[in-house]
Chains A and B, each alone.
Chain A
Amino acid sequence: MTAAWVSLATTTLSSSAASVTFGSISGSYRDLAVAISGSITNYDYILLRYNSDTGSNYPYVDFIGDGSGTYSNSATLTGARVGRMSTTAGVISNLVAQIMDYSATDKHKTTLARGSSPDEMTIGVASRWANTSAITSVTALTLSGESFESGTTLSLYGSNRL
C-alpha cells in the first residue's frame, strides 16, 4: 500500500521572516499541502506564490465568518490566497492549503485552503494559478508585506500517487 502524505520539509522560524520558500520540489507526488501555524507582525492574508511567479495570475474566491457577519471576496492576486493570520500575543493562527495536481502540465493549479485567525475570523478559499507549468517551488508570504514571527512553523507535505 502507498502511504498518502509524506513530510517533505518543515521549518520553525528562529526570527521573523517576510517569506519562506520551499524549493526543488520533486514532481513525483500527486498533491502538495502546506500547513502554517503561528503568528505574523500584523493581521494579514497569507499567500502562496508558485515558481516565483509575481504576476497577477492567481484568481481566488473566499468565504469568511467573523461572528458578526459573513463575507465573500474574489479578485486576482500575485499569489494564491490561502488564509489569514493574527498578530495578537499568544494567539496561534493555523491554515492548511492543498495544492491539487501540482505537477500536472495539462491544467491550471487549484488550491483549496481553510484556516483561522482565531481572534478574528475563520476562512475558506479556492485559488487558481493560471499556469500549466509544474510547481517546483512554493513561497509563503503575506499580502501586505507583514512578516511571519519567530516560532511560526511552516511545513510542506506531498501526497503520493498510486
Chain B
Amino acid sequence: MAIKSFTRSTIENNIFYRSMLAGNTAFSPPDESILAEEVLTGTQASVTFSSLGTLAAGYQHLQLRMVTRDNRGISGTNNIRLQVNSDSGSNYADHGLYGNGSSVLSYANTSQSQFNALSINPSNSDTADAFGAGVVDFLDCFETTKYTTIRSLNGVTVAAGSTIRLSSSVWMNTNALDTLLIYPSSASFVSGSRFTLIGLK
C-alpha cells in the first residue's frame, strides 16, 4: 500500500498524526486483481500459493487459472489435483459432469484427501505444444462460517482423449484458505505451464 501524499504530514501543518496514512484516501483494491502468477521455466512437481489471507486481503473469492502439460511417458489426459492448507485428511468431495466427444458422463468422489480433478492436461507424449486449461473459482474461501465451495470449467483436446468438464467440489472445513498446493495426479508439470491467482470482490 503506497503512501501517495504527505500533504497532511506533521512537517507541513505541525499536527501530530500517529498514522502515516493521514490525509490519504482510503485504499480500495480493484474489483478483480492479479495476486500471484507462476510460469514454469522447467519441470516442476507442484506449485504452491501461500499466505492467501494476506495476499488476498480485501477479496471475497479467488480464481485460479491454469494452462498445463505434464511429463508422463504415456499419452492421455491427467487430472490436476489441489490440496488446501496442507490438509491431507478425508475432507474433500468432488462432483463432475464431462463430455468426451461421444457421451456426457458424471462422477462423484467423497472422503478424498485432495480435490481430484480441478483441471486436466495432456502429456509430453501427446500432440506437441498442446496444453490443457482450467478456470477454478473458490467461493467465500475466507469465510469461517462455511465450508469452501469450488467450481471449475476445464478441458483439453488431444487425439488420445478430449474432455470438457464442469466440476463442483467442497472442502469440508470452515478454516479460511491459506495455502494452495497444485500438482498433477502423476508426474510433473512441464516448462510453459502457467498458474495465475486472482482476487475477486
Q: A107-B129, A162-B34 are in contact. Are A114 and B153 (CB under 8 A)?
A: yes
Residues in B neighbouring A3, C-beta threshold 8 A: 30-34
Interface residues of B in 178-199 (CB under 8 A from A): 191-192, 194, 196, 198
B102 sits at the interface (CB 8 A): yes
Q: Which B residues lie within 8 Å of A162 (CB)?
A: 34, 36-37, 196
> Given the complex, which residues of A lie within 8 Å of B32, measured CB to CB?
3-5
Q: Contacting A4 at CB < 8 Å: which of B133, B134, B198?
A: B198
Q: List, in ascending order, chain A residues with CB within 8 A of B134's CB.
A: 112
Establish whether residues A72 and B99, one from each chain, have CB atoms under 8 Å apart when the complex forms: yes
Stretch at the interface among A15-23, A41-49, A126-134, A141-149: A126-134
Q: Tell me the B145-201 residues at the A interface (CB within 8 Å).
A: 153-158, 162-164, 166, 191-192, 194, 196, 198
Q: Roughly how many angstroms separate A24 CA and B163 CA in the complex, as a whole number?
A: 32
Of the candidates A5, A61, A132, A160, which one forms a contact with B155 in the assembled complex, judged by CB atoms under 8 Å apart?
Answer: A61
> Knowing that A74-B101, A106-B192, A110-B131 are A-B contacts, what are 5 other residue pairs whose CB atoms are under 8 Å apart, sorted by A's residue number?
A2-B33, A4-B30, A30-B34, A161-B196, A162-B196
For the complex of A and B, 6 pairs with smallest distance between CB atoms:
A126-B155, A63-B99, A74-B101, A72-B99, A4-B32, A70-B104
Where the two chains meet, the residues of A that have a C-beta atom closer than 8 Å to any C-beta of B are 1-5, 30-31, 59-65, 70-74, 98, 100-101, 104, 106-108, 110, 112, 114, 124-128, 130, 132, 159-162
10 A-B residue contacts at CB 8 Å? Answer: A4-B32, A30-B196, A64-B104, A72-B102, A72-B164, A107-B130, A110-B131, A124-B99, A126-B133, A126-B163
